[in-house]
A = this chain, B = another copy of it.
Amino acid sequence: MALIVQKYGGTSVGSVERIRNVAERVAKFKMLGHQVVVVVSAMSGETNRLIALAKEIQKEPDPRELDVLLSTGEQVTIALLAMALKDLGLRAKSYTGAQVRIVTDSAHTKARILSIDENRIREDLASGHVVVVAGFQGIDEAGNITTLGRGGSDTTGVALAAALKADECQIYTDVDGVYTTDPRIVPDARKLDTITFEEMLELASLGSKVLQIRSVEFAGKYQVKLRVLSSFADEGEGTLITFEEDSMEQPVITGIAFNRDEAKLTVLGVPDKPGIAAHILGPIADANIDVDMIVQNVGIDGTTDFSFTVHRNEMKKALDVLAMVKSAIGARDVIGDDRIAKVSIVGVGMRNHAGVAGMMFKTLAQENINIQMISTSEIKISVIVDDKYMELAVRALHQAFGLDRSPAA
């Protein structure tokens, strides 16, 4: 008998029929003798509907009240799922975040979990109940309702699994696991049976979007066994996210991530002297613009070009900020380009293998794809290319690194 925490996202509970399907899946695990805690999101579309309603009332909705509003989304789902479970003859009980006492800090709309009182859930599990918990929400010390931000239901699932010392935390989604890359772009993309936490972190932050990055960090910190599965397929083991690098030989590259969310800003001809990065990025940070990649080359003739990427929606804002500081930093010009894409190869295996970067650049060169920016970390290499080459780059790299072949082969 195991204690399993299952998390179902908005699509998995998006209709009465799908809620029934979730109940049936939960029932199967219960029949096998497991104890089950289920974490659910709001029905798909509901959170957006509520946000739109709020914005009709107040252009920038008050964060405290927005949390009161948005938390109703999951509350509807927990009640409906508990009913569906009871309709199958199971014992079931729903809890809001406040009822569990998922205590968070007071940062409304992006709160962080401080503690979870798991006693009530344990009692219910001991008396044979399925416990259904609202994801995404909590309560602060003063009793105000808080939410964890988009994707926060994953975090709730992992945090509950950690608090309950669950045997496994299963994240049900609309894909059946983590793939070497997006199968819509590379038909040969292969589902991974396992992936390390570090790789998952890099893939998640790079846009694979299977799992919320905070939940992965959380799982790593508390050593929660995390598994990604499909709530639509009946079979399959999904992808298990492991803490330790496997003792068996690792493939060099595990997966390829990509996105078109970013824009590149280049400050041309700035004096190559200490403090210039701070002079450029300080005002950007003050304007609350997040920066992703940053590249500065060694200067020639005393000046250098400085490039960085921001979210595509913030390019205009970033350009406005740079226009204001341009003369102060003595730059020749400032240009923005939002027709770029970022492609990254990720794998813990590259630690022990030289030549991975060379292989990546050679592959792109063979396809005549110009690399605009390069950024590397221990287990990841990212490049910025013209966005029209994105799919081509991903396919070429997928084949070059043999991701279509099973590692056992």
Contact = CB atoms under 8 A, between A and B. Distances in A.
Nearest to A69: B79
A75 B72 contact: yes
B83 A65 contact: yes
A259 to B, nearest CB: 33
A83 B58 contact: yes
A86 interface: yes
A184 to B, nearest CB: 33
A145 B86 CA distance: 18
Interface string A87-119: 100000110101100000000000000000000
Contacts of A62: 82-83, 86
A98 B56 CA distance: 27
Contacts of A54: 79-80, 83
B82 A78 contact: no
Nearest to A17: B56
A72 B76 contact: yes
Contacts of A50: 76
A61 B62 CA distance: 34
Contacts of A78: 68
Contacts of A96: 68, 145
Interface residues of A, number: 36
Contacts of A83: 54, 57-58, 61-62, 65-66
A84 B144 CA distance: 19
A335 to B, nearest CB: 40
Interface of A: prevailing SS? helix
A93 B64 CA distance: 8
Given A72-B75, A75-B75, A79-B65, A16 B143 contact: no
A123 to B, nearest CB: 11
A371 interface: no
Contacts of A69: 75-76, 79-80
A251 to B, nearest CB: 45
A65 B53 contact: no
B99 A143 contact: yes
B58 A86 contact: yes
A75 B79 contact: no
16 contacts: A16-B53, A16-B56, A53-B76, A54-B80, A57-B80, A58-B86, A61-B83, A62-B83, A64-B93, A64-B94, A65-B82, A65-B86, A71-B75, A72-B76, A96-B145, A99-B145
Interface of A: 16, 19-20, 50, 53-54, 56-58, 61-62, 64-66, 68-69, 71-72, 75-76, 78-80, 82-84, 86-87, 93-94, 96, 98-99, 143-145
Given A20-B57, A68-B82, A99-B145, 10 more contacts: A50-B76, A53-B76, A53-B80, A57-B83, A64-B82, A65-B94, A66-B79, A69-B75, A69-B76, A69-B80
Which 9 interchain pairs have the tightest Cβ spacing? A69-B79, A72-B72, A68-B79, A58-B83, A65-B79, A65-B82, A57-B83, A58-B87, A16-B56
